[in-house]
Copies of this chain bind each other. A is one copy, B any other.
Amino acid sequence: MRTLTAGEALTILRGLQDVCILIHRSPDGDCIGSGYALHLLLKSFGIRSKVACADTIPAMYAALTDGVEFEEFEPRCFVAVDVADRGLLGTLNEQYPDCEVKLCIDHHISNAGYAEQNYWNPDASAACELMFTLLRDNEIPMTEQIARCLYVGIATDTGCFKFDNAKADTFAAIAEIKRQYPNLPYARLNRELFDLKSRGRLVLDARLMENVQMSADGKVALIYLPYAWMTELGVTKDETDGLANLPMQILGVEVAITVKQQETGEYRVSMRGGDYADVSAICQRFGGGGHVKAGGCSIYDGEPQEVCKMLMDVASAMLNA
């Protein structure tokens, strides 16, 4: 896919009016950070804009949204940030059917190319890293509020700089953000974003780990979450988002399987892979898919024990194949 230069992207942005900034459903730190940063940038140009999302912004991102208010207006154009595919807009597709997206700022290798123009780099760790480059290459100063947005987005998408998508350029971007704004509460933001959990979620984690099932000499681990536990512990669906990483923490685990029973009785399965397992291949056996190190599938019936055993057996067999 062809990408604009930072200069070309800026020229497009400066020519817009009454902009609706689209971010993806189930919003995370990166789409919120890049969306709000873009809003603040457009505002500094005297251009009216608002961020639109199919879902409510989670409270943990209050540091980005507090104090930002959007005017009511009928959008005259659309820009998408961190949205790889129109489907990820969720209900915004009904609110703005077939809207023409003038510009998409994105870092997903899988970007579907639905926008008229793209400022796109699949080597960037986050859409926020692209926003950083856009500003830097155009010599536009970062305000403190924009710096905070970009920090949160980059930190979120790199697992607080833990994943391999945090490359040299990513670290250089954060070095520059911290050089310009040494006193932002980075450690506190990190604690809020990565460490804090509700007591209910912590008790849930505990209970899941006490009941972890293992096979293939400890290389396959499975946790099963009955729907009743969520109600009992008052844990929301949002709160269980990062659960799939839990069994990956066990020393020696190569395939980590998380099975969440839904209210409907359906089982939603997430898998994570370690050094060599291809969990996408395992998920495909159950009609799912994904990436080598992160995949998922759904199973529509069966008793919990059977479903878990079947998943463990297939994963173990494929791991040892």
Residues of A within 8 A of B (CB): 160-164, 166-172, 174-176, 178-179, 182, 186-188, 190-191, 194-199, 202-203, 205-210, 212, 214, 218, 245, 248-251, 275
In the complex, the answer to whether B209 meets A249 with C-beta atoms within 8 Å is no
In the complex, the answer to whether A248 meets B203 with C-beta atoms within 8 Å is no
CA distance A175 to B208 in the complex (A): 38
CA distance A170 to B188 in the complex (A): 18
Report B-chain residues with C-beta under 8 Å of the C-beta of A186. Answer: 164, 166
CA distance A209 to B199 in the complex (A): 9
- Name the residue on B nearest A179 (C-beta): B168
Known: A162-B187, A176-B168. A206 touches B210 (CB 8 A): yes
Between-chain CB contacts (< 8 Å), 5 pairs = A163-B190, A169-B175, A171-B171, A188-B275, A199-B218
Among A169, A203, A206, A214, chain B packs the most CB atoms within 10 A around the CB of: A206
Report B-chain residues with C-beta under 8 Å of the C-beta of A251. Answer: 196-199
CA distance A161 to B275 in the complex (A): 23
Report B-chain residues with C-beta under 8 Å of the C-beta of A166. Answer: 178, 186
- Name the residue on B nearest A176 (C-beta): B168
Q: Which of B178, B188, B250 contacts A202 (CB 8 A)?
A: B250
